[in-house]
Amino acid sequence: MGESGGDDREQRDEISLLTEELIQLSVKGSRVVPNEKPTLICTIWKEKLYNPKSFRAQMKSLWKTKKKFEIQTAGQNLYLTVFKLEEDLELIME
């Protein structure tokens, strides 16, 4: 498998996902800032905007973490989740 992503829509964020061990995420025009804390970038693949409050509520009820985590909107249907514990990030990735 190769690369999937980008289309003709110049106004949208560009996302490239490599199916190898390394996942490269390229986001143009977003508010994603490098962070020292364990962080996960989540996207919702939907044509219409997804309600950020609804996404936060759903993830908080699904992910049973030891410590709280923060979900920030980073672009259209793109969310930055910052965890206090590396262990919590590893738990939800399983």
**Nearest 5°: phi and psi at 80?**
-105, 120
DSSP strands (E only) in 1-94: 3-5, 16-18, 39-43, 69-75, 78-83
Q: pTM for this one?
A: 0.58
Residue-range domain boundaries for the chain:
3-93
**pLDDT above 70 for 13:** no
pLDDT bin (cut points 50, 70, 90) of residue 23 is very low
**Neighbour tally for 30: CB within 10 Å:** 17
Per-residue pLDDT, averaged over 2-28, amounts to 48
Let me know: does 12 contact 76? Beta carbons within 8 Å.
yes
**pLDDT above 70 for 4:** no
Residue 49 CA neighbour count, 13 Å, CB half: 7
**Neighbour tally for 8: CB within 10 Å:** 5
Tens of pLDDT along 33-90? 666 888 888 888 877 777 778 888 888 889 989 999 988 888 777 888 899 999 999 9
Q: What residues pair up with 75 in beta bridges, in sequence order?
A: 78
Looking at the chain, how many residues does it have? 94
